[in-house]
Structure 1
Amino acid sequence: MQKEIKSNSDVMSVDVVIVGAGFAGLSAAERLDSMGVSVLVLEGRDRVGGRSYSGEVAGVKVDFGATWVSPRHTAILDLAKRLGCSTTGQFHEGLNLLWMAGRRHTWTGTIPAVDSMDLEDLGRVQVALDELLAPIDIDAAWKSPNAEKLDSISFGEWLDQQQAAASTRAVMTMVSKVQWGCNPGEVSLLHVLRYIQAVGGLDHMLAVEGGSNQDRITETTQEIANRLAAKLGDRVVLDSRVRQISQDDDGVTVHTDSAVISAKYVISTATPEHRSYIEFLPALPEKTEGLTRTWPMGKLSKAFVAYDKPFWRAEGLSGEALMDTGTAFITFDVSPDDGPGVLMVFCAPRVYDGFDLETRRSRVVQQLVDLYGAQASTPIDYVDHCWGTEPFAPGGPHPAAGPYAVTSYGSALTEPHGRVHWAGTETAGEWAGTMNGAVLTGLRTAEEVAQRLGVEGASE
């Protein structure tokens, strides 16, 4: 997988350079390679997968990053199957837990509520949200009816306008933290609507059975990327951060710390914010520069806590829980069929990332004790990953675009910069923000570039 490129005096030449070895970049590379187009994938990290990254706790492989697939995610599922990866259903049998206002409650279904009044208010707000979703153009949200008005306020301000009850506000805050890596007051209402509509609605976004959280990749999601990269072989180069991309009428020149590559086109899969990590000559258009400034990546952290067995199941609990205060705010049971019990825990980085490992562990375990009782106090293993502290391309699952950012700069998501085309899940319409969306954008940009290259059979 690692091609040796030793010095700036070594000038390689390929048809297309692809920046980033996540699902978008690897999918684009495979498609172009199948058309006879020569490609080189440059990855700044020492691994492939992007925001899909595997770890291990108590001998069990776990997903530090992207985790779930829906039955409707056919692009990533087809890719996984082709590469010999399988799926495991997300365990969700039994009662879910809710920790709200200092008290523990049980609930069932997709969205929690403490009592009938809470459920009524949550339903009212969801109906109002659904009414706003219907006309959203997921391919060009900035062209949607009332786009400027929807983009002028934050999701939090909209909840204020709806006079959402404290319980409803708490639930929507949890949704915002896990989806956009920020609080509702930090993200544009239009941005929220685009993402919810793109993944099939709020119920599909949050549901296990039949929804976005139905299945996990048994081998972990990064293993799909590992196997795809292995197929591409030395067309994938790790530890190769792109510093500069210059272009003229004849082609593109890509500079890394150790090499210069000549190409006809570039596909960049960097997130909107991380496009600014690269120097472009000529410079990016003003709108694209604005996109890099106003679409910052959210922040999210994950912990995995292992026990001798999934003891909560014997108590009729699903292992799924939501919490409105503290370090942890969501848990899921990701235990293997035979082996230890493992809880996946989403953590709020502002009260988590800055502490040492032992403090982080102690905080998470204490909240699990509150939820699951004294047995949770004696885990056999613990591991975590703080995405916001990564040295290269840090950030959470999705951009946290604030008010005015979508209507002002959203159109730059996919507008090519000369010979540079953009891919990555943020540039997707349908399934934006998912692994499925990432694969689809890789295939889309591969077809776009193949057409510009005049490759026979490329989509018009």
Structure 2
Amino acid sequence: MANSASITELRADSARAENSQREMGGEAPPGAPAAGRGDPRVAGLDADVIVVGGGLAGLQAARRMVAKGLRTIVLEARDEVGGRTKTVEVGGHRFDVGGQWTGPGQPRMYALIDELGLSTTPTYSKGKRILDLRGAISTYSGMIPRVNPWTLIVAQVGIWKIDRLCAQVPKDNPWDCPRAVEWDGMTALDWAKRNLRNDSVIAMVNGAVRVIFGTDMANLSFLHFLHYLHSGGGFAKLVESHDGQQDRWVVGGAQQLCTGMVPLAGTVHTGAPVRKITQDGDRVSVVSDKGTFTAKRVVVTVPIALADRIQYEPPLPTMRDQMTQRAGMGATIKVLALYDRAFWREAGLSGESVSTDLGTVTFDDTTPGGQAALLMFVTGSPARGWSERPAEERRRFVLDTLVRYFGEQARTPTHYLENDWAAEPFILGAPIATFPPGTLSAFGPALRAPVGRIHWAGTETALDSTGFMEGALESGDRVAQEVLSLVEVA
């Protein structure tokens, strides 16, 4: 009988478990003033800057500002830092149930990995892949699935069209695109129906969209779709593992990137969800469950939809308020099934599969230490449906699907665990915030624009690798420079 563990019963490591219940006072890097509890207050303020959110964006911003001499407090709602990264330990092996991958063209990720003394391992891609296209299963090698030749031609032409159009959308200000209003006035599905005109190709593109965005083409602004693809390097790079955005992953888990930055980030409070931000003259006050803190500036790095749940005084401008009201988080359930051996490799399979109907994608997630594992994403509208079902029904669906692709041996994992990101109260979904039609063209300029003493960051605000961990780090760097240009170091 398999040992089953829910995600809440697992702990990533003893250090994180200890830190999750207390305040973490970071040590400043050499040359920077000590930041945190022992500092004398300047002008009656608790800090120069308060950062809301202890994920990659928030901690990157905090450590950059601390390094320049600013006193910084980070307020993280959950009981541990990490944001949309989350690493768990099972049987002595560590797995990511949140953000996981990196790839070429992500310099900040590789720099941070090197700085923290971590390493990466390539995503396993040897063997045949599986495509479940509208209920018909086929295997293939390389990048070209074994489908009807005409379907392949339409798919390739469609990808070429998409990449050509996305290059016309500015990375910094997509709303300035000459066709912004036109493209923002339709969904990605609207465009696909008019231009692809092939149900199988549309199904394949929608399957990719579910994984990339956590939602379906019918819910997604075509302008937002094109902008995201341009930011990520094009359609193929976003969906590929080898030499794509899923090329490698951090050995020991991506959450180490966040825990590793804590000592450099000033004072970090966990278990401190922010309820209200008030701007009053030359200061801001931030009300959290760990108390009220005052500073010269505040940086909000939580997901856009979550930022909308904070009370602001005075209220946010209409542009910003309307944008956050319209942003919705994607739906993703990430599942791990561990086995005694990687039997799919023995059968010549890579572990990769995509289903256009079920909304699932799988990867081989076997650790460098040899713990065999299959990883499954349930995404988009299917994920929203399964979120409402009992856990045992979800488990049965997942294992039935794995058996469908990899054989009866997949039915009996040694361990099974899942993380439903839509059920995370301080995240609300994954992988990213998405925009429906009519949002970016009308309210997009408010995405990064400061509101008085409030500044914004997070992977959705990045120019490159939007939605990825690299994008979160980029946004942290950008907002740190923004604040440093306005705040005088004492």
1:57-95 per-residue CA deviation (whole Å, 9 max, x = no partner) reads 454311111110012111011111101111010000111
Write the letter of the residue equivalent to 1:330.
V
Q: Secondary structure at the match of 1:262?
A: strand
User: Which of 317, 323, 329 in structure 1 is aligned with 2:355?
Assistant: 323
- Name the SS for the 1:170 alignment partner: helix
Please, which of 330, 342, 353 is the counterpart of residue 373 of structure 2? Answer: 342
Matched, 1:145 2:178: yes
TM-score w.r.t. length of structure 1: 0.94
C-alpha contact 1:32 1:446 (8 A) present in aligned 2: yes
Contact preservation (8 Å) 1:57, 1:382: no
Larger CA deviation: 134-143 vs 372-381 = 372-381
Select between 184-193 and 49-58 the one with higher mean Cα deviation: 49-58
Note if 1:426 corresponds to 2:457.
Answer: no
Alignment of 1:63 onto 2:99: no
Amino acid at match of 1:325: D
Kindly indicate whether residue 282 of structure 2 is the aligned counterpart of residue 250 of structure 1. yes
Go from structure 1 to structure 2 and tell me whether the alpha carbon gap of 1:412 and 1:113 turns closer, same or farther (over 3 Å shift).
Answer: farther
Letter paired with 1:452: L
What is the match of residue 451 of structure 1? 485
Distance 1:289 1:253, change over 3 A: same
Residue 338 of structure 2 contacts residue 372 of structure 2 at CA under 8 Å; is this kept in 1?
A: yes
Verify the 8 A CA contact 1:57 1:304 in the aligned structure 2: no
How big is the shift at 1:454?
Answer: 3.3
Listed one character per residue, the Cα deviations across residues 307-348 of structure 1 (whole Å, up to 9, x for unaligned) are 11111111111100111223x510000102343320110013
1:413 aligns with 2:447: yes
Would you say the 8 A contact 1:427–1:441 is kept in 2? yes
What does residue 242 of structure 2 align with? Answer: 209
Q: Does 1:32 align with 2:97?
A: no
Shift of 1:108: 2.6
Deviation string, structure 1 residues 211-269 (Cα, Å, up to 9, x no partner)? 10100001111111011114446x11001111111113311111113411110001110
Distance 1:43 1:169 in 2: 40
Partners of 1:279 and 1:378 lie apart in 2 by 47
- Please report how far the alpha carbon of residue 103 of structure 1 lies from its aligned counterpart in structure 2 after TM superposition: 2.4
Q: Which residue in the other structure is 1:273 paired with?
A: 305
Q: Does 1:259 align with 2:279?
A: no
Match status 1:101 vs 2:134? yes
Contact 1:58 1:306 in 2 (8 A): no
Mean alpha-carbon deviation: is it higher for 418-427 or for 129-138?
129-138
Q: Distance in 2 between matches of 1:58 and 1:351?
A: 31
Structure-2 residue corresponding to 1:360: 394
Matched residues in 1 for 2:91 and 2:223: separation? 42
Contact 2:271-2:289 at 8 Å conserved across structures: no
The answer for the alignment partner of 1:79 in structure 2 is 112
Change beyond 3 A, Cα 1:113–1:47? farther
Q: Does residue 1:181 correspond to 2:214, yes or no? A: yes
Could you tell me which runs of 5 or more consecutive residues in structure 1 were left unpaired when the two chains were aligned.
Answer: none
The answer to whether 1:386 aligns with 2:406 is no
Q: Distance in 2 between matches of 1:112 and 1:447?
A: 45
Report whether the alignment pairs 1:154 with 2:187.
yes
How far the C-alpha of 1:183 sits from its partner, in A, is 0.8
Q: C-alpha distance in 2, partners of 1:451/1:250?
A: 16
Residue 169 (structure 1) aligned with residue 202 (structure 2) = yes
Query: Which letter maps to 2:441?
Result: T
Name which of structure 1's ranges 201-210 and 35-44 shifts more when overlaid on structure 2.
201-210
Write the letter of the residue equivalent to 1:317.
L
Distance, in Å, in 1 between the alignment partners of 2:265 and 2:179 is 45
Match of 2:325 in 1: 293
Per-residue deviation, 1:113: 4.8
Q: For residues 262-298 of structure 1, what are the alpha-carbon distances to aligned partners after superposition, in whole Å with 9 as ceiling and x for unaligned?
A: 1000111022212211111111000000111111111
Name the CA distance, whole Å, in 2 between partners of 1:166 and 1:133: 22
Aligned partner letter, 1:245: I
The answer to whether the Cα contact below 8 Å between 2:212 and 2:238 also exists between their aligned partners in 1 is no
User: 8 Å contact 1:67–1:216 — kept in the other structure?
Assistant: yes
- Listed as ranges, the gaps of 5+ residues in structure 2 are 1-18, 25-35
- CA shift in 2, pair 1:111/1:273, >3 Å: farther
8 Å contact 2:337–2:375 — kept in the other structure? yes
Q: Report the 3-state secondary structure (helix = DSSP H, G, I; strand = E; otherwise coil) of the residue aligned with 2:387.
A: coil
Q: Which of 102, 114, 122 is the matching residue for 2:155?
A: 122
CA distance in 2 between counterparts of 1:256 and 1:378 reads: 44
Cα contact 1:291–1:410 (8 A) shared by 2: yes
Quick one: distance in 2 between partners of 1:95 and 1:126?
22
Deviation at 1:453, TM superposition (A): 1.1
- Asked if 1:373 is matched to 2:404, the reply is no
2-side partners of 1:354 and 1:263: how far apart? 41
Could you say which residue in structure 1 is the equivalent of 2:52? 19
**1:3 aligned partner, one-letter code:** E
Aligned counterparts of 2:146 and 2:423: Cα–Cα separation in 1: 34
> Conserved in 2, the CA contact under 8 Å of 1:321 and 1:332?
yes
Counterpart contact for 2:196–2:202, Cα < 8 Å: no
